[in-house]
Amino acid sequence: MSSIRLEGVVKKFYPDRPLFFRKSSLSSAIFALDHVYLEIKDGETMGVIGPTGCGKTTLLKVIAGLEKIEKGKVYFGDKDVTRLRPRERGIGMVFQTYALYPHMVTRENLAFPFRLRKWPEHMIDEKIEFTANTLGVGFRELLGRMPRTLSQGQKQRVALGRCIIRNPSVFLLDEPLSSLDAKLRIKTRMEIKKILRKFSVTTVYVTHDQSEAVALSHRIAIMREGKIEQVGTFEEVYNHPVNLFVAGFVGDPSMNLLQLTLAEKRGELVMGEPVYNLKIKVPKEWERKLREKEMVGKDLVFGIRPEHIELGKNKSSNGIFTFRAKVEDREVTINNKAHLFLRIGHHRLLATLENYRYLPAPGEEADFTFSVNKGKVFNKENGLALIS
């Protein structure tokens, strides 16, 4: 097993360049990876999430050696593997499409890399036996079947078996559950989690599904436009986002973001919007930091999670903001949560309620509250967190 370390990795693509490209040719470059620094501990599972086109899969391919880089270094442990070919890196990779040999039964799909190396039959059998035991109940029944006779979930298990049988030092998984239905996805990701924890293999897990990343990973890296925005546990990135992008991206539903102006009224700081008489009193513990950042009189963004908004008035006024809003729409989810789509002035907010006795109908107005201390404050100009 080994840790993974990326130091200043740069990967560019040239979408407009001609087929026979010369370095002197004029062509605009797109940064797929823009000076990426990332460290994954030995035995750790790192989830990588981000919007489509942010560089997640490119990051995986660079670690695997399938893409060459312009700058930077890739290390496995203390070993520089930047110039090593994929087969020299000791990796196991599971693709979104599984990549099984269609003309071979499962046993031969597993045995193929060892037959190429002319391993003795008894050693191949030992490898297959170990893999079957690892993948658990029902896997032996798949050994004699062709890929076309397997379900999507079974194909995924075989692909994972091909990864495990090689005893790699690093697992690389590229959205392996994306083609499964919701129920099977939950079951399969729990199987994957057991395997990853059993082997303690350093793993990079790329996914667009935040719930998968949370369920499987020790830590999460959030990417945007080829850069790593934040790395941490889910609790860290959810409760303490470093910027507006992370705040708006992490979480389902995402954080409510209000553009307000910080003003001083009678010695107290207030975040507000004069047009709609929207005034949120700044907690005392925030004032010093906001003054030090010279934010008084400037625009900022206040964020509050939907689950932190409550229906009805709160008897306590200490640190509580109460507002009246129009309910534009509502929906009740399958797990009995209610989403209320609210409008206050030109701002739209989402409130997520769990233990509710009644729900206001669309078109009605109602009172809502939230604790200001549960909110986050960001600099509108650069998006960085001021209070997080």
Report the pLDDT value the prediction gives residue 176, as an integer from 0 to 100.
Answer: 83
Report the pLDDT value the prediction gives residue 154, as an integer from 0 to 100.
Answer: 87
Cβ-proximal residues to 274 (8 Å cutoff; 6+ apart), any chain: 261
Is the torsion defined by CA of 10, 11, 15, 18 positive or negative? positive
Report the pLDDT value the prediction gives residue 191, as an integer from 0 to 100.
Answer: 82
Can you give the residue ranges of every domain in the chain?
Answer: 4-242, 256-387
Task: Report the distance separating Cα 160 and Cα 92, nearest Å.
Answer: 9
Is the torsion defined by CA of 159, 162, 165, 170 positive or negative? negative
- Give SS3 for 104: coil
Question: At the topology level of CATH, where does 4-242 sit?
Answer: Rossmann fold (3.40.50)
- Give SS3 for 339: strand
- Give SS3 for 195: helix
Report the pLDDT value the prediction gives residue 275, as an integer from 0 to 100.
Answer: 67
Question: At the topology level of CATH, where does 256-387 sit?
Answer: OB fold (Dihydrolipoamide Acetyltransferase, E2P) (2.40.50)
pTM of the predicted model as reported, rounded to 2 decimal places: 0.88
DSSP classification of residue 217: -
In DSSP terms, 174 is beta-bridged to: 206
Q: Which residues in the chain come in under a pLDDT of 70? A: 1, 16-27, 275-276, 315-317
160 within 8 A of 195, measured Cβ to Cβ: yes
Report the pLDDT value the prediction gives residue 24, as an integer from 0 to 100.
Answer: 47
